[in-house]
């Protein structure tokens, strides 16, 4: 996954698509570091990516959950549970003591994690609420 936006990811909700594009942009930064594979110290860049990811995640999940509450979405608990897992996972990576010594391993893990987020959450659970929202609009 090279983290390029593709229309197949679109949920046809402009604000949500923009926020998901933001996730892709963070993924692209991680990907760009990974393909360099030049052995340089990328600690600061990796920490910046993790910080951005935490900020984005907090903002985006709150936005989605508030929106879904407003429309009494029936599967909101699935959303909250999956969101909780992603936040747990980012915090787990961010607090890892061996991060500096395992930079490449960590960056590849972040990529894998973001790919899963896109294919398993955005393309499944988020798509499900998007279909629902079209019916109540």
- Interaction site with Fe ion (CB under 5 A): 64, 126
Nearest to 115 by CA among 27, 15, 29, 36: 27
Nearest to 69 by CA among 23, 127, 129: 129
Return the number of the residue (43 or 88) whose C-beta is nearest Fe ion: 88
Return the number of the residue (15 or 137) whose C-beta is nearest Fe ion: 15
Return the number of the residue (93 or 118) whose C-beta is nearest Fe ion: 118
Q: How many CB atoms lie within 10 A of CB 14?
A: 9
Return the number of the residue (49 or 64) whose C-beta is nearest Fe ion: 64
Q: How far is the CB of 111 from Fe ion (least distance, A)?
A: 18
Give the Cα separation of 69 and 63 in Å (integer).
10
**Percent helix, strand and coil across the chain, each to the nearest 5:** 80, 0, 20
Give the nearest residue (CB) to Fe ion.
126
Q: How far is the CB of 20 from Fe ion (least distance, A)?
A: 6
Q: How far is the CB of 4 from Fe ion (least distance, A)?
A: 18
């Amino acid at each position: 996954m090279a983290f390029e936006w593709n229309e197949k990811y679109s949920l046809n909700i402009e604000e949500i698509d923009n926020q998901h594009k933001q996730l892709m942009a963070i993924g692209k930064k991680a990907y760009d570091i990974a393909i360099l594979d030049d052995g340089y110290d990328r600690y600061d860049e990796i920490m910046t990516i993790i910080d951005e990811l935490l900020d984005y995640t907090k903002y985006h999940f709150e936005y989605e959950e508030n929106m879904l509450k407003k429309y009494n979405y029936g599967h909101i608990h699935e959303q909250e549970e999956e969101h909780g897992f992603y936040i747990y996972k980012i915090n787990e990576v961010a607090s890892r003591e061996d991060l500096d010594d395992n930079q490449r391993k960590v960056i590849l893990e972040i990529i894998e994690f973001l790919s899963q987020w896109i294919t398993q959450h955005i393309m499944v659970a988020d798509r499900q609420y998007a279909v629902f929202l079209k019916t109540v609009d």
